[in-house]
Structure 1
Amino acid sequence: MSVFVDIAPEQSQLDPPAASPRARWGGRFSRAVLPLLSLAVFFGLWQLAAVSGIWNQTFVPYPASVWRAFLDVSTTHDGVRGYGGYLLVEHLYMTLRRVLAGVVIGVVLGVLLGLVMGSIAWVRSVLEPWLTFLRALPPLAYFFLLVIWLGIDEAPKITLLALAALPPAAVATTAAVLATPVALTEAARALGASRGEVIRDVVVPSALPETFTGIRLAVGMAYSSVVAAELFNGIPGVGGLVKDASNYNNTPVVLVGIFAIGISGLIIDGLLRTIERRAVPWRGKI
């Protein structure tokens, strides 16, 4: 005689209660409305600061002035094509292309370096101080050296962005590898897995969530360095546009460039979050 025990009801008691339709709609409403509300407050305070007259238009231009600058930079007007002969979308394309090349190089090298540093203690002891040293350096500290070595074309720009992206990816990956649960690696070894198989089947999946965090930080570091990367021969490029406009105290165009960098950065970070959710569905479950 067999005995069957149904434990499904007991398990269901441990599951969190399902959210009601009203709560779900409330959450979606908050996520949609609160960002728009904060944006409206920001522009309202900006308009009040401009109208107050405390600062002149060079320091705090009207939002309408920035909007007109955006239209001017984005179109051909009075025989002038955008800014410096390039439309805003072309400036943004060149900047994104440089950032993508630098981030890919920096992230690939950083992740590989992090895997090695996390797996081999003596390599970590040798390289960790150099990564810390590189992380502490502001981009301008070594950009001029890169210009001397590599010229003023694309090579120093991409190299700078790669050097900015490498340390966050390497540090995050190293920490993630070191945080791999010992029980999982010991279980894999007990089942006969080789060192390579343990790294491939246990360490890498366990490290992926933190590695994605490092990749997002690497992209942010590259973006924060893009203006420095485009100091020389940066047009077309949003960083070059910002730098050139600042030489003439053209604050509206500077703000257009800043908004272009920031908004494109938000979009890219959102794409990375989406990729992370699909590539690492087990995040928080190991």
Structure 2
Amino acid sequence: MSAPAEPAAPAARAAPPRGRTRSPRFDPRTAFLPLLSLLVFLGVWQLAAASGIWNETFVPYPATVWQAFLDVSTTSSDGVRGYQGYLLWEHLYMTLRRVLGGVVLGVAAGVLVGLLMGTIGWVRRVLEPWLTFLRALPPLAYFFLLVIWLGIDEAPKITLLALAAFPPAAVATTAAVAAAPVGLIEAARALGATRGQVVRDVIVPAALPETFTGIRLAVGIAYSSVVAAELFNGIPGIGGMVKDASNYNNTPVVLVGIAAIGISGLVIDALLRAVERRAVPWRGKA
């Protein structure tokens, strides 16, 4: 009598073809939780405004702020155009243009200085105290000096934003370069790589992830300084609009400006993260 046949082994799952990754599943919580937090915030805001504890001048209703948003975004029937003659998108465009100019200058200088400080010891010893000094200064501390030197046009605004973006980019790049893997550097030198080749092929790729983090911080700090940058002659500009509206206790317009700065900041940070994922795909994998 023949032995009973052994049970067949379960069929192995077909391995996914090489070079193809499974697309991430959509998690409803990624959209639901932020929406829920927004609804809770609006509910608390509505209750605080309706409680009567604070005057409506200080805590307006959400509907009042929404009406202010519509007013600054459109031209009214009696010909009033936006705020101080400019629509909200025009204020935002001027602010973003100033931020872009300042950030490009500040980040470019910061990354270059950080690369030098991270690779050349005496440069780091000379520049580090000055960099720490500048990083400790709030933007308003030197903005008025910039106004005296450069006037009240665009030059002091862009310079202020560049000075705000410079220290975080320089500090992050310096730390990233100094933390480059010594083993890889020594291996490249043993294979005959020159100093320039080591910097280009080993140090820079290793430092890019943290450098991008510094760039994101630089953009955030520059953007948080935009109201200070637009204190003088800041209209059109979101910071100028907020400052001018605060002079007249126009809280709804101030809140519209704050929301515009915050939301556009979120969009900019999301764009920077997308660029980082493309430029540094090896982050967290090496």
Instruction: Map 1:113-192 to 2 at 5 A.
Output: 113-192=113-192
Shift of 1:30: 1.1
Match in the other structure for 2:231: 231
Instruction: Map 1:137-286 to 2 at 5 A.
Output: 137-286=137-286
Shift of 1:285: 2.3
Match in the other structure for 1:6: none
Whichever residue aligns with residue 91 of structure 2, its letter is H
Larger Rg over CA atoms: 2
Deviations 1:241-281 (A, max 9, x none): 00000000000000000000000000000000000001000
Match in the other structure for 2:53: 54
* Greater Cα offset, 29-38 or 158-167: 29-38
Match in the other structure for 2:4: none
Deviations 1:159-205 (A, max 9, x none): 00000000000000000000100011011111111000000000000
Q: Which structure dedicates a bigger proportion of its chain to helix?
A: 1
- The CA distance in 2 between the partners of 1:207 and 1:200, in whole Å, is 11
* Greater Cα offset, 227-236 or 34-43: 34-43
- The CA distance in 2 between the partners of 1:186 and 1:46, in whole Å, is 59
- The CA distance in 2 between the partners of 1:30 and 1:24, in whole Å, is 12
Shift of 1:283: 0.4
Whichever residue aligns with residue 182 of structure 1, its letter is V
Whichever residue aligns with residue 256 of structure 1, its letter is V
Match in the other structure for 1:95: 95
- TM-score normalised by length of structure 1: 0.91
Match in the other structure for 1:39: 38
- The CA distance in 1 between the partners of 2:90 and 2:25, in whole Å, is 41
- The CA distance in 1 between the partners of 2:123 and 2:165, in whole Å, is 20
Shift of 1:58: 1.4
User: What residue ranges of structure 1 are gaps of 5+ in the alignment?
Assistant: 1-8, 13-17
- TM-score normalised by length of structure 2: 0.91
Percent identity, aligned pairs only?
81
Aligned residues between the structures:
267
Whichever residue aligns with residue 193 of structure 1, its letter is A
- The CA distance in 2 between the partners of 1:99 and 1:187, in whole Å, is 41
User: What residue ranges of structure 2 are gaps of 5+ in the alignment?
Assistant: 1-11, 16-20
Shift of 1:24: 3.8
- The CA distance in 1 between the partners of 2:86 and 2:239, in whole Å, is 13
